[in-house]
Amino acid sequence: MAKHLLVPTLALAAALVCSLAVQTQGPMPGAVYDRDVKGEKPGPAPRRDLAGIWEPATAGGGIQGKGALAMESCKRDKATGRYMVQQNPPLTDTGYATVDCLKPEVEPPYTTEGLARLKAHKPVEGYRMVPDAVNNDPILGCDPGGFPRIVLHNFRTSEILQTPTHLVVLYKFQKRYRTIWTDGRELPKDPQQPAWTTADRLPPEPRWWGYSVGRWVDDYTFVARTNGFQDDRTWLDNAGLPQSDTTEVEETYHRVDANHLELSIKITDATLYTRPWVALDKLRLRLQSANLDIQEMECSPSDQKHYYEIFGNNTGLDPDTRK
Amino acid sequence: MNNAVMRTLGLAVGLLTVSVPLLAHHGAAQFDVGKKVTVKGAVTEWFWSNPHCFLRFDATGADGQVVHWAVETQSGPNILPQGFSKQTFKVGDEVTVTLEPVKNGRPMGRLLRVVLPDGSALPLATADAGQAPGNSPLN
């Protein structure tokens, strides 16, 4: 090696070794996320198998404050018409995206009622975001985010447990779970009067998370449908898109290979949207080590109260009117 | 330092920078996005929670008046990989905080970087987490 290259080469090697040391110190095996590695060739997809701990293949890829249709990028490929995953959107010099980057190029197909509901929501994220002091987002008081917001807003590490009669999805965010029945039962026919109980004198029970049934449409594709939501306290996402007690959600899980799963979500609600629309298009998930310990992300009302007393309530643009 | 060394160090810094994936949680409507303020002060509270932690500290201005600052970060689980923990700060610690202030002029903001009493800084540059510990509209 030429002498003039020796010093810079050693400096580069030292920097990379230091970086690796910091990244590998401390965590136990299985306590760090498995990420895609360039050139790897995963094995074939197992048949009718979704079980495991899943994490968005792109770090942070399931956290979608921008809103359902703006989630991947603020740019769209004009040739294909598809949104492109953009890892480096325009940033300020403090490292944050500009608000211009948050607006979807294509709005969801709102009905008049849907648009009115949207405008009544004051979210803290997305292009319509307001300061904390004037928001009306139910989850910021620790109400359940419900489904599909848990996926469209904040899909983090999640575990799927698979049994002969149902799937259970354990979500890290808000430490919640859902059951998707695969035992052949049908969705409640009237989402206004849902109840799966043999105790027929019990009243109907509208749910934050809805009623879910699913089936395999082929050996690698599982489709679940959900209805029976209780009211509009659940939003579709963090940008305030509306949901109602007539919303129906279709989830499609496609097992791509041994390491990957793709998740898509379609929304149908004739009250709020003029046609069904795809809110999530093939979010790529990566299978994690079976001994990964999923962190808690519980929402504590007492913690939230203290946060708003000290910080959130004081962010209004006018300290007297908080408007 | 010669040009070759500078180029190599630049490359190393670049590699470290791109190794930091994006991760964020919360909106930015209340922040004066892009503005940076650096303040020195003494810690009065370090509140560890989800979805936001915050650090409160007192700084004495040029006029001798004490200003009570509060800066927020992302949630505890998000900033653990960046080197923060529930024990990172104790009351009385002298810290230097670089923050993005709120628009309304109150002594509040989101934490971008903090220098601890021992001279070390957080967040760690190589953490498997967001670019900055404060909330970001990016996601």
Sign, CA torsion B2/B8/B14/B19: negative
Whether A311 and B108 lie within 8 Å, measured CB to CB:
yes
User: Mean pLDDT of all residues in chain A?
Assistant: 80
Q: What percent of chain A has pLDDT over 90?
A: 46
* Model confidence at A201: pLDDT above 90: no
Whether B138 and A97 lie within 8 Å, measured CB to CB:
yes
Which pLDDT does position A154 carry in this prediction?
82
A205-233 per-position pLDDT tens digit: 789 999 999 999 999 999 999 999 988 88
- pLDDT band for A196, please (50, 70, 90 cuts): confident
- Average pLDDT of the segment spanning A87-96: 44
Q: What is B21-122's CATH topology? A: OB fold (Dihydrolipoamide Acetyltransferase, E2P) (2.40.50)
Q: Which two tokens stand for residue A293?
A: 């310990």
Nearest in space to A253 (alpha carbons), one of A221, A279, A226, A278: A221
- Average pLDDT of the segment spanning B40-52: 94
Nearest in space to A72 (alpha carbons), one of B136, B132, B25, B138: B138
User: Lowest-pLDDT range, A126-135, A150-159, A228-237, A308-317?
Assistant: A126-135
Could you write out the three-class secondary structure of A79-90? CCCCECCCCCCC
User: Lowest-pLDDT range, A72-81, A97-106, B46-55?
Assistant: A72-81
Which pLDDT does position A230 carry in this prediction?
86
Distance from CA of B8 to the nearest CA of A (A): 5
Question: Does B17 touch chain A if contact means CB atoms closer than 8 Å?
Answer: no
The span from the CA of B113 to the CA of B26, in Å, is 18
Whether A87 and B130 lie within 8 Å, measured CB to CB:
no
Helices in chain A by DSSP H: which ranges? 3-24, 112-120, 149-152, 301-310
- Work out how many CB contacts closer than 8 A connect A with B: 170
- Average pLDDT of the segment spanning A79-108: 53
* Residue of chain A with shortest Cα separation from B53: A307
Q: Which of helix, strand or coil describes residue A165?
A: coil
Which pLDDT does position A87 carry in this prediction?
40
* Residue of chain B with shortest Cα separation from A95: B131
Question: Does B29 touch chain A if contact means CB atoms closer than 8 Å?
Answer: yes
Q: Which of helix, strand or coil describes residue A180?
A: strand
pTM: 0.77
The span from the CA of B132 to the CA of A20, in Å, is 20
**ipTM of the complex in this document:** 0.74
Scan residues 89-128 of B and list those with Cβ closer than 8 Å to A.
100, 102-104, 106, 108, 112, 124, 126, 128
Which pLDDT does position A18 carry in this prediction?
41
